[in-house]
Structure 1
Amino acid sequence: MLTSIKSFFSNELFNTEKGSTADSSEHQLQLACAALLIEVAVIDQEFDTRELQALITILQTKFNLSAEECETLRTLAQSESEDSTSMYQFTQLVNSACSPEQKFELIKGMWTIAYADGDLDKYEEYIVRKVSELIYVSHSEFIRAKLAARP
């Protein structure tokens, strides 16, 4: 699976040179962030169209992707999320590659998706809190992100 993802990123999505470590790391980070965002959308067993639109908007804004690239990233991230047994692989990558501000923006994006369907489910709140703890976002920043994303 990892080989197909790397191949896809290098050949189709971004047309980068093969073997570029910086590009590969950036693509892995994009996939990890997208997978964590998808976790919020699917945790309540309903992937609402409003949540999907919020996800697409966040990915396009955060990573400056076209609609087609965004849809492909979403599909890959959803597959990766479904195949994953834990969030560790995603949160570990975020911890090693993201600044505190980028982590805040990720948590804010997760809250945005949680609020998108108009119903903040207890499982959505749980997953945002759990990721926040795993990527070492302080409680005050967790609350600030929640308030910033609240409609």
Structure 2
Amino acid sequence: MLHALKELFDNLTAAEPELPPAQQVQLATAVLLVEVMRADAGKTPAERQAVLAQLQQRFALQGPALAQLVAQAEQSAEQAYDYHRFTASINDHCSQPEKLQIVESMWQVAYADAQLGAHEHQVISKIADLLYVTHGEYIGAKMRAKEAAGLV
């Protein structure tokens, strides 16, 4: 029992290698998009494709680099106990319009399967607050994503 607790504590406090700011933002953005996908009880191929499309569009990544980023994001999302590390990185390195685009991308992932789950809504709302996106910006991003999905 004590060994298991020590191992857990060591894993939580282990220092991760410091990534350059651009890679921190890429990983943080990917994790937040994956979190929206994970919030939906029935992950769909459409949502996964939306995550890939958003990352490809935002960071101009292709093939193996894109697959590696998503795999790393999925692993980080599973191990994370909150969003602070990821939102802090975005807050430190992104402008307000860039943060708003991330929130809109999250909405696009949520609407990819043509329905919005309550947990998806909660995740996006919480993350938008942590990114200091105003309520008006949040609603505007939601409406643009909904329109882009053809749901209006």
TM-score by length of 2: 0.84
1:96 — aligned with what?
Answer: 92
1:21 — aligned with what?
Answer: none
**1:149 aligned to which of 142, 145, 148:** 145
Tell me which amino acid in the other structure corresponds to 1:44: D
Moved over 4 A (4+): none
CA offset digits 1:83-106 (Å, max 9, x no partner):
111101001111111101100100
1:51 — aligned with what?
Answer: 47
- Report the more deviating stretch, 107-116 or 63-72: 63-72
Greater Rg by CA: 2
1:17 — aligned with what?
Answer: none
Structure 2: state its 5+ residue gaps: 1-13
Tell me which amino acid in the other structure corresponds to 1:98: C
Does residue 79 (structure 1) correspond to residue 75 (structure 2)? The answer is yes
CA distance in 2, matches of 1:51, 1:63: 18
- Report 1:12-91 matches (<5 A): 24-91=20-87
1:132 — aligned with what?
Answer: 128
CA offset digits 1:7-52 (Å, max 9, x no partner):
xxxxxxxxxxxxxxxxx11101100110011000001233210001
1:19 — aligned with what?
Answer: none
CA RMSD of aligned residues (A): 1.3
CA distance in 2, matches of 1:61, 1:29: 14
Structure 1: state its 5+ residue gaps: 7-23
Aligned length: 133
2:11 — aligned with what?
Answer: none
CA offset digits 1:37-83 (Å, max 9, x no partner):
10000012332100010000000000010122111100000100101
Tell me which amino acid in the other structure corresponds to 2:29: C
Q: State the identity %.
A: 33
